[in-house]
Amino acid sequence: MTSAPYRPGPVSGGTRTASAVTTRNLSKRFGQQLAVNGIDLDVPTGAVYGFLGPNGSGKTTTIRMLLGLITPTAGELSLLGADRDRLADALPRVGALVEGPAFHLYLSGRANLERLDAADRRADPRTSAARVDAALDRVGLLPAATKRYRAYSLGMRQRLAIAGALLTPKELLVLDEPTNGLDPQGTREVRHLVADLADEGRTVLVSSHLLSEIEQVCTHVGVMHVGRLVAQGPVASVVGGVRRRVRLETDQPRAAAGVLRQLGVQGVCVEQGVVLGDLAEVAPEKVVAACVHQGLAVTGFQVVTPSLEDAFVALTGEGFDVSG
């Protein structure tokens, strides 16, 4: 993928608000199933917002409601300052990739984008070729522009879909699993692309199962679980809600475990001769000092800082799944 800068022009006609996306008590019911249960989403303008959730959590359903693809059962939403009744005013300023790309199998990548561009009544047909080439170049598909879509790999199809979202200037990009099918190099390139879009002033809402990628590129996250939004905010704030773990090595682990409990360390246990526990409000330096004071030899000590994955597991009680 090329690293050449791509600078789409400014978007006109929009109203810039503090939040690009907000919802209040947004809900969606399918028969007896409440897929999304009264969520209050807040995506700040200019943020890279990672939307996380295990299988069946309701995040794709939420994205479809935001884009007007399905109608909410209850609640309100605002997209780039437009409410539910005026979504059509905002959607031309939104680029989206939802539930995988869909293009004509027997057309080339370029021809597919040309058809997509021609369907946009706001796009100037005189500059269509330049827009299509710029979008293809941005996602590294210019050398494969004449190849038929049916011959594209899954990763190439994902890139073409992202290119389609970048044909015209957008204020908000909504990307549902944009790295699906990409190899590690392609995943890194998409990560850099998302960061570049944010640097240009775009707001990006990205759903992904790759927590390590989300943690590297996102400024904010929202975590869905069983249809509810269980956490939301800046990444540091969400991760900071998970207690730090302490790992202590000594030749007297049971005695050391007793010292940690007296200090107020929670969930203390001994695994394979190593003492583990949640620091809670206990200062790390007090742990070593207390052990030494009791005549215990500390041969190893580590404070394990929680990751986004740790926060996710703590919030949902389960591992991460690919779709949602």
Token representation of residue 141: 């598909």
29 burial class (0-12, 13-18, 19+ CB within 10 angstroms)? middle
**pLDDT value, residue 144:** 95
Q: Does residue 312 lie in a domain region?
A: no
Burial class for 180, CB neighbours closer than 10 Å (0-12, 13-18, 19+): buried
Query: What is the per-residue pLDDT for 8?
Result: 42
Are 200 and 264 members of one domain? Answer: no
Measure the CA–CA gap between 128 and 144, rounded to whole angstroms.
Answer: 18
Count of domains observed in the chain: 2
Distance CA 66, CA 171 (A): 15
Question: What pLDDT is recorded for position 27?
Answer: 97
Domain that holds residue 254: 245-305
Whether residue 324 lies inside any domain: the answer is: no
Co-location of 273 and 253 in the same domain: yes
Based on the fold, state whether residues 90 and 224 are members of the same structural domain. Answer: yes
**CATH number, residue 271:** 3.30.70
| Helices marked H in the chain | 59-66, 87-90, 109-118, 128-138, 154-165, 184-199, 211-217, 235-240, 253-263, 284-293, 308-316
User: Do 80 and 200 share a domain, yes or no?
Assistant: yes
Report the distance separating Cα 40 and Cα 209, nearest Å.
22
Distances (CA, A) of 184 to 188, 212, 219: 6, 12, 22
- Same domain for 54 and 39: yes
Residue 64, number of CB atoms within 10 A of its CB: 20
Q: Is residue 298 classed as helix, strand or coil in its secondary structure?
A: strand
Residues 203 and 253 in one domain: no
Structural domain includes residue 51: yes
Looking at the structure, tell me whether residues 62 and 90 fall in a common domain.
yes
Please check whether residue 5 lies inside any domain of the structure: no
| 319 in any annotated domain | no
Q: Is 147 exposed, middle or buried (0-12, 13-18, 19+ CB in 10 A)?
A: middle
Apex CA 271: angle with CA 307 and CA 243, to 5°?
30
The residue written with tokens 């330096």 in the block is 285
Residues 6+ apart with CB under 8 A from 209: 177, 320, 321, 322, 323
Domain membership of residue 12 (yes or no) is: no
- Averaged pLDDT in 10-residue chunks for the chain of 324 residues: 39 64 96 94 94 86 94 95 91 86 91 92 90 91 95 86 89 87 77 83 86 82 92 86 83 92 90 87 89 91 81 71 39
Last residue of a domain, one of 240, 261, 282: 240
For position 55, which CATH number holds?
3.40.50.300
211 vs 200: CA distance, rounded Å: 24
Same domain as 208, residue 119: yes
Say whether both 65 and 167 belong to one domain: yes
Whether residues 152 and 231 share a domain: the answer is: yes
